Amino acid sequence: MPVATQASLKGLTPEQLEETGCRLCLNNTYHLGLKPGQDVLAAVGGAHKLQGWNHNILTDSGGYVGTTTTATMAQFGDRFQMVSLLKLAKITEEGVEFLSPHDGTPMLLTPEHSIGLQNTIGSDIIMQLDDVLVTTSPDARRMREAMERSVRWLDRCIAAHRNPDTQNLFCIVQGGLDLDMRRECCTAMMARDTPGIAIGGLSGGEAKADYCRVVACCTELLPELKPRYVMGIGYPEDLVVSVALGADMFDCVWPTRTARFGNAVTRRGVLNLRNARYASDFRPVENGCACACCRPRDQQGGLGVTRAFVHHNAAKETVAAHLLTIHNVHYQLDLMRRVREAVVADEYPAFLRRFFADLYPDSRADYPAWAVEALRGVGVDLLSDEETMYKWYLWRSDKSTKGQLYESKTTAPSTAPIATGHTAGRLSPPAAAVSGSAVLDGVTVTVTAVALSEAVSLEPSPPAVAVPVDPASAADRPSAAVVVASALATRKSPTLEHRSS
């Protein structure tokens, strides 16, 4: 999500933001509550009408509290910008007490007030008020207090929410880098059954490897059919790795903020167009990019902007920031479109290999170690040339079906169920296979897993598991059960072995 803090994205009109493909942007509750204020928002009919935006809006709760560094604030934006505004904040069970940055007036932001503001704003997704420390805080006692208080504040937010049918309230998982605390918070938040769940408190200066461990820990527990929103993430590498770890939604000011410093985000990395090397570079900002900035003039709406033009204006004219904002927002949204397409096509591992090869074309040795290790943990080896397509054929038989063969394919065995796909035919059970049986309502159901690939071997694992498709009818139709034989798929490689259940 692009971040339009005060109901506007710096440098773009709502129409230009829409043209980039954006259908969901972020506004900040705290800023809108101060100016124009709740009365004006109520009079105009909410933030959509205030900014002339006909698509979706997510509002942050307006209450990020804690401490962080100036560098982190510059990098990740509004949630951390709040910290600089609230240096004199006092956190109590009631809420956040602070002095207005405009006139020094004492103010109190409570869960009820935050939700009331967001109800008036009319955003499509609203966030709970949370108490959070940056992950690098050494104060374990305060971290636990913040985590437990965030759960209590969520209960107050739910009770105060006036529009649950039209505004989706997301909870925020806290707990710093303590994985046990994160698991505890995930369990508590899931019990509240909010429409979506955010993983908060990250991008605050922690090591990337620690970030990945926290995201992976949370996504292993969170419901698959609810959005998982990792707050404050915007670097392209972070986005694609986080998706592999199981995250769905992200926001960050970095793409727009870095545009104002003359930086273009491209598949080959970030180009600092203030550099003198671009003074006579008459290529588009990025070859092949379909944004209005890069499109040739002979294509509808194309501006045909060159790197040389941006370089000429970057130091002294706002037009350069405007053009690069168009490009950077389009790049980020197009990246996520390509991510979605790769996931749907079951080609995400191959997409990741291409992404990192484009970003680090000189050598794989340049790949960030944290990304390599995080992706290896979910079955994607960036350093391997092998693109093996794994196949499992699952033989299932019971007294009513004489035998059916099911096929499942994936390039990453750890990320796909072993028993999905279409019926390939009624055949005799293969000779070389791993079998398992389970009893369902007195009927023994047997399933066999077969790997038809020289690069894959199978070895026995726990017994098969039977799961009724429709428990109510399972007694009458035992064949309605889905039976999965457990096996370990091992890719044979001279240097690396992937194993997944």
Distant-in-sequence, close-in-space partners of 285: CB < 8 Å, separation ≥ 6: 264, 266, 271, 273, 293, 294, 305, 306, 307, 310, 323, 324, 327
The catalytic site residues sit at 60, 251
Whole-angstrom distance, CA of residue 213 vs CA of residue 198: 16
3-state secondary structure 372-433: HHHHHCCCCCCCCCCCCCEEEEEEEECCCCCCEEEEEEECCHHHCCCCCCCEEECCCCCCCC
Angle at 90 between CA 85 and CA 95, to 5 degrees: 100
Q: Which of 174, 176, 200, 178 is nearest to 187 (CA)?
A: 174
DSSP state of 175: -
Query: CA-CA distance, 175 to 367, in Å (whole number)?
Result: 29
- What residues contact residue 421 under an 8 Å CB cut-off, 6+ apart? 406, 407, 408, 409
Question: CA-to-CA distance for 225 and 466, rounded, in angstroms?
Answer: 22
d(CA 17, CA 330): 9
Amino acid symbol at 137: S
Q: Report the alpha-carbon distance of residue 228 to residue 243 in Å, rounded.
A: 10
Element (H, E) at 270: strand 269-272
